[in-house]
Amino acid sequence: MDLELHMFQKNYSSWSMRPWLLLVAAGATFREVMHWPQEATFREGIRAVSPTGKVPLLRDGNVTVWESLAIAEYIAELFPEAGLWPEDRAARAWGRAVSAEMHSGLADLRRNCPMNLARRAPLPHVDPATRRDVARFDAIVTEGRARFGGPYLSGKFSVADAMFAPVVTRIISYEHDVSPDTRAYVETMRANPSVDRWYREAAVEAEGRPAQISPVTGPEVLRGVRPAEQVPDAPCWAVIFESQLDPDTSRPEERAEYDALAARMAELAQKQPGWLGIRSARGADGFGITVSYWDSMDAIAAWRAHGQHREAQAMGKSRFYASYDVRVARVERTRTHR
Ligand SMILES: N[C@@H](CCC(=O)N[C@@H](CS)C(=O)NCC(=O)O)C(=O)O
């Protein structure tokens, strides 16, 4: 499977959030392709892949799907075992109806309260149209939970919840008044592991360091561990690779080639004896840090000498990197806070 989700930054992109949550909830392996508004190639980068010039957009090999609701349906079909729609036909029909309503409606709430996960402040004045949208959301939540038993809209987490997730973030960010039942739903959603992961990754961007936490996400490629859990316990060895991409590498085709090479190397590295984990982040300015963890110096030396890795190193030097530094360090102690 070769899934690629094109998206904007997590703090602001409400439409991108929906399919991303579904992919993560389904345990899918996929590549996030971020389009950063700060980058000069931003517009042409999106236009190159999207017929509408908008994100999200999902690519699955030669299949391209745009429009978040269509992407959600595609993901639900791709991962039937994830049960992203309820089994009960009436619950499914209701979930589809409210999802479509969300996709085409609640325009005043969307316009007047743009998604901004970092915000925590009410509007100075909430106009009647926005109030009506909040009241409609309240009514949907109350009806769904009463009819299908909660804690989510139609029982367990489904496409409908992903569609409403950005509304949930607006209730939190703008401190809108909602009923106790809707408040409970908002809390359930905020605590949902996929939603929480989105918030955590958005917080890294909100600090002004737009970073792609690991260019490849997903359980297979990263050996079943999420980025936050990839750092192994001490003692172990770390290879710290700091690199500055060449300005040419920011051209979309060149960057796609580089990303594919980096993903192949991450995949190959994890199959080597002594491999323990990897964490990687790259900013919009092309500066990145990748730390790979190993159980011995011998394992690091063997990986350095690996044939395909040597070819990749040569290509990195001649084409992709303006500069890089490698440091090998022994990890003596680790401490963790989540
Ligand atoms: N109806 C589309 C809406 C997509 C959308 O508006 N995406 C925003 C980002 S959250 C976008 O790409 N905006 C760029 C633009 O309008 O130029 C969907 O459901 O996917």
- 3-class state of residue 144 by DSSP: helix
How far is ligand 1, taken at its centre, from the CA of residue 42, in Å?
A: 14
Is 68 close to ligand 1, i.e. is its CB under 6 Å away? Answer: yes
Cα torsion 43, 288, 206, 11 to 10°: value is 50
Residues of the domain holding 119 = 3-198
| Residue range 52-69, pLDDT digits in tens | 999 999 999 999 999 999
Question: Ligand 1 centroid to 92 CA: how many Å?
Answer: 26
Q: Tell how far the Cα of 16 is from the centroid of ligand 1, in angstroms.
A: 8
The answer to whether residues 224 and 166 belong to one domain is no
Q: Count CA atoms within 13 Å of residue 245 on its CB side.
A: 22
pLDDT for 228 equals 41
Residues 178 and 126 reside in one and the same domain: yes
- From 170, 198, 226, the end of a domain falls on 198
CA–CA gap between residue 189 and residue 187 (Å, rounded): 5
Say how many CA atoms lie within 13 Å of 23 toward its Cβ.
28
Residues 6+ positions from 239 with CB-CB distance below 8 Å = 291, 292, 293, 294, 300, 326, 327, 328
Q: Can you tell me the distance from the alpha carbon of 103 to that of 330, in angstroms, rounded to the nearest whole number?
A: 51
Q: Any idea what the CATH number is for the domain that residue 140 is in? A: 1.20.1050.130
Residue 208 lies in a domain: no
Q: Is residue 204 part of a domain?
A: no
Residues 57, 30 share a domain: yes
Cβ 34 under 6 angstroms from ligand 1? no
Q: Is residue 242 part of a domain?
A: yes
pLDDT at residue number 338: 61
| Predicted local confidence at residue 83, as pLDDT | 97
Residue 87 lies in a domain: yes
285, part of any domain: yes
Is there a single domain that holds both residue 114 and residue 148?
A: yes
Cα of 54 to ligand 1 centre, how many Å? 4
Distances (CA, A) of 180 to 139, 141, 185, 201: 12, 11, 9, 29
Q: Is the CB of 155 under 6 A from ligand 1?
A: no
Whether 169 and 88 map to the same domain: the answer is: yes
Which pLDDT value is given to residue 151? 98
Q: What is d(CA 240, CA 146) in angstroms, rounded to the nearest whole number?
A: 53
C-alpha 331 to ligand 1 mean position (Å)? 44
User: Are 181 and 140 in the same domain?
Assistant: yes
What is the total count of domains within the chain? 2
The predicted structure's pLDDT at residue 226: 36
Nearest by Cα to 172 from 120, 124, 131: 120
The answer to whether residue 15 is domain-embedded is yes
- The residue contributing the CA closest to ligand 1 atom 18 is 67
Instruction: Answer whether 54 contacts ligand 1 (Cβ < 6 A).
Output: yes
Question: Which residue, judged by its Cα, is nearest atom 14 of ligand 1?
Answer: 54
For residue 281 the two structure tokens come to: 């982040």
Residue 285 maps to which CATH number? 3.30.70.100
Task: At 294, give phi and psi (nearest 5°).
Answer: -140, 160
Gap from CA of 273 to ligand 1 centroid (Å)? 44
Point out the ligand 1 atom lying closest to the alpha carbon of residue 52. Answer: 12
| Same structural domain, 184 and 228 | no
Question: How would you write the pLDDT of the chain (338 residues) with one tens digit per residue?
Answer: 689 999 988 988 999 999 999 999 999 999 998 887 766 677 888 888 999 999 999 999 999 999 999 999 999 999 999 999 999 999 999 999 999 999 999 999 999 999 999 889 998 889 999 999 999 999 999 999 999 999 999 999 999 999 999 999 999 999 999 999 999 999 999 999 999 999 998 887 755 444 333 333 332 233 323 344 456 677 889 999 999 988 888 777 788 888 888 888 888 888 888 888 888 887 777 888 888 888 889 999 999 999 999 999 999 999 999 999 999 998 888 777 76
89 with 182, same domain: the answer is: yes
Quote the CA–CA distance of 85 and 301 in Å, as a whole number: 48
**281/169 same-domain check:** no
Please state the atom number of ligand 1 nearest to the C-alpha of residue 55: 12
pLDDT for position 204: 78
165 and 79 inside one domain: yes
**Atom 11 of ligand 1 has which residue's CA nearest to it?**
54
Same domain, 145 and 252: no
For residues 106 and 25, membership in a common domain is answered with yes
| DSSP state at residue 337 | -
According to DSSP, residue 319 is labeled I
Which atom of ligand 1 lies at the shortest distance from residue 66's CA? 20
Q: β-strands 30-34, 3-7: how paired?
A: parallel
User: What residues have CB less than 8 Å from 319, skipping those under 6 apart?
Assistant: 246, 248, 249, 254, 258
In angstroms, what is the span from residue 38 Cα to ligand 1's centroid?
17
Backbone angles phi, psi at 141, to 5 degrees: -60, -45
56 CB under 6 A from ligand 1?
Answer: yes
For residue 327, being part of any structural domain is answered with: yes
CB of 20 closer than 6 angstroms to any ligand 1 atom:
no
pLDDT of residue 57: 97
- Domain end residue (candidates: 198, 229, 257): 198
Measure the CA–CA gap between 222 and 167, rounded to whole angstroms. 31
pLDDT of 206 reads 57
Flag whether 145 is in a domain: yes
